[in-house]
Structure 1
Amino acid sequence: MKAITYKAFGGTDVLEITDEPQPVIQADQVLVHVKAVAINPLDWKIRKGEMKLMSGSRFPKHTGTDFAGIVVAIGSSVTSVKEGDAVFGTVKNNMKEGVLGEYVAVPSTLVWKKPVAINFVQAASIPTVGAAAVMALQKIGKTTTQSRVLVNGAAGGFGMFLLQLLKRNGANTTAVAATHALSTVKQWGANSVVDYTKENVLTKGITYDAVVDLSGKMGYKKAQQLMNVNSVFIDPIPNPVDILLTPIKNLFSSKKHVVLLSTPARETIDFLVKAINDGLDIEVSNVFPFAQSKEAYDYAEKGGYIGKVAIDVN
């Protein structure tokens, strides 16, 4: 089978198409003929070596975490899906595994039946950012119309899910995005917007009960000036040092720095599937063919797009 791999840390130039044996499944696994793979920032953070403390340095490595496709074989103990089912899913260890290839073998507990109303690229866009948005919602806690939440870098896939979920929970949300994305983030549920190309949210003199930094460019230190007492800073793009030291730092501040390390769980995905069936929107702004996977990552890493970017594998 064809797969995208790399033999050294680096930019998109290290990615290459290779031939590999089709995976052999274990009793608790399913073999999926991959139709689409969604791109996540973690993909290139790992590839660039930024997460090597967790990913290790053994090569070759695969890339891609979230996928959708058709089940072509099931292990002897699998009962949740059958051959021919359209599914979406994720890998068990996103630091050491990758799905960007023609076939993938994963535990049956990490695949879910695709909602009929969405296509494969939309389905592949759900697991990582969808689960992270649900976890962020839980970390923010109960919200009302008086709860002020700032979402910085709100126009991507994470923001797409989070803004819509916050709206359903009644929060008063401010979204920071570029000019071309302002109308979209409003549609997703933002009560107010800040165009970062024209104004700096740090200088507006407004404070919030929660700050979610999806761009990774604000950081906890700067965000503190926007935070009310006992507020939270949600950090979904932490570096390894933050992961290790943040729990200690939080002992000495009422303004909590919350590192978000989400793992899609069945109850989380079930919640998202229900929301999707109830009308939650999934926007995939650009889809690249498998042969242009390098170009897909070049495009995604530049940012500025709305929703998700995906690769059409088959």
Structure 2
Amino acid sequence: MKGLVAENRQLVIKHDLNMPLVGEGEVLVQVKSTTINLIDLEFAKGKYDLFLKLARNNYTVKTGIEFSGLVATDGQAFKKGDRVFGYVNLLKSDKTHQEFVSVNEQYIAKMPSTLSFSHAAALALGALTSYVALNELVNLTSNSKVLIIGASGGLGVYAIQITKRTGANVTALTSDNHLQFLKSLGADDVIDYHASPLESLKEKYDVILDLSNTKLYKQVKHLLVSYGVFIPAEPNKHFLSFVMNAFRKQKTKYLYVDKGDSTKLTQIVNWVAQGEIQTCVDSEFLFEDYQSAISRFLQKGRCGRVVLNFE
């Protein structure tokens, strides 16, 4: 079996990996498509080695979080041959940059035949994380105003669409080459951050979602209403801000999905099937051309996910 393995802080392809063992409550899935995310590159560089050790994660493949494919073994809710998409636990699970992955049934959902494997792989984590952030971390209404920083990435394209389902007003901050596309996804206002940097904005927002992971609370607090919420994409730089939540009206919250939720995945894919949410793929590469996929991921100007296909 082929897959990507981290060696000397770099990803290399191997063709002699062992097939995953299938545990209780899991099924084996033949991966058809998977994606490249920033956290994959961080795992490859050893940034989370200590956390993997604490989680007793001894799997050979450390990268790849979301995927789509065909179920290869019968489970309780899924049968061999089912077309599925989903994601894996960040620290405790086998990963998806390999031909087969063992995955808990709670982390996958069936996908319609009208949805391609590449677009399904690009949907799972981005849409689910946005769903949780905008439906569980905050209470949006039709009167809410939301600012999304980094709105053209693999999370942002879904955050726009899911926010609009609540009736809230969405302002997307992006580069000028994505203005019209983000408008087509439903953004009420799209701002070119080169022409109008964050510091120059005057509007007040109920929620600021920073998917670029470049801003601190102190840089955006002037744009929040008195009880506004700032949601950064990664918690590492925001520990002090979390502590200070107890002493101020404005809050910092963290978006993170670490549990399987097949029900929410099913809801999301139903929205796609009904044409209510659009999947967003920036580019596709064959698995063997993973280096080109990584290079594309690291380039500015992406819009949506970078996908790796096994065939």
Q: TM-score, normalised by structure 1?
A: 0.90
Q: Deviation per CA, 1:261-287: give whole Å up to 9, x if none.
A: 113412321221221122110021200
* Conserved? CA contact 1:8–1:59, under 8 Å: no
Pair 1:156-2:153 in alignment: yes
* Counterparts of 1:311 and 1:136, CA distance in 2: 26
Q: 239, 255, 260: which one pairs with 2:250?
A: 255
Whether the 8 Å contact between 1:4 and 1:63 is mirrored in structure 2 is: yes
Question: Does the alignment pair 1:132 with 2:129?
Answer: yes
**Which of residues 255, 264, 270 is equivalent to 2:266?**
270
Q: Distance in 2 between matches of 1:99 and 1:35?
A: 10
Q: Which moved more, 1:285-294 or 1:133-142?
A: 133-142
- Which residue pairs with 1:112 in the alignment? 109
Q: Describe the SS at the equivalent of 1:44.
A: helix
Give the residue type in structure 1 aligned to 2:19. Answer: Q
Equivalent residue pairs, number: 304
Mind listing any 5+ residue stretches in structure 2 that lack a counterpart?
A: none
Q: Which one-letter code corresponds to 2:138 in the other structure?
A: I
- State the AA in 1 paired with 2:145: R
Superimposed CA distance per residue, residues 236-293 of structure 1 (whole angstroms, 9 cap, x where no aligned partner): 2221x63x55542211121111111113412321221221122110021200111111
Alpha-carbon distance in structure 1 between the residues aligned to 2:59 and 2:112 = 36
Contact 1:46 1:55 survives alignment (8 Å): no
Aligned to 1:2: 2
Change (3 A) 1:95 1:309: farther
- 1:175-196, CA deviations, whole angstroms, 9 ceiling, x for partnerless residues? 0011111111111111011101
**Superposed counterparts of 1:87-102, under 5 Å:** 87-94=84-91, 97-102=94-99
Q: Does 1:186 align with 2:194?
A: no
CA–CA distance in structure 1, aligned partners of residues 127 and 91 of structure 2: 15
SS in 1 for 2:73: strand
The aligned counterpart of 2:139 is: 141
Q: Which amino acid aligns with 2:165?
A: R
C-alpha separation in 1, matches of 2:89 and 2:59:
18
What percent of counterpart residues are identical? 30
- Residue 202 (structure 2) pairs with residue 205 (structure 1): yes
Question: For residues 269 and 60 of structure 1, do their structure 2 counterparts lie closer, same or farther at Cα, with a shift above 3 Å needed?
Answer: closer
Q: Mapping of 1:160-239 within 5 angstroms?
A: 160-239=157-236
Shift of 1:60: 5.1
SS at match of 1:79: coil
Deviations along 1:7-66, whole A, 9 cap, x unmatched?
343xxxx11111211123234221111110022222123223343443349785421011
Q: CA RMSD in A?
A: 2.0
Gaps of 5+ in 1: none
For the residue of structure 2 that corresponds to 1:54, the secondary structure is helix
Aligned mates of 2:247, 2:46 — CA distance in 1: 31
CA distance in 1, matches of 2:252, 2:24: 41
What TM-score do you get using the length of structure 2 for normalisation? 0.91
Partner Cα distance (2:203, 2:12) in 1: 47
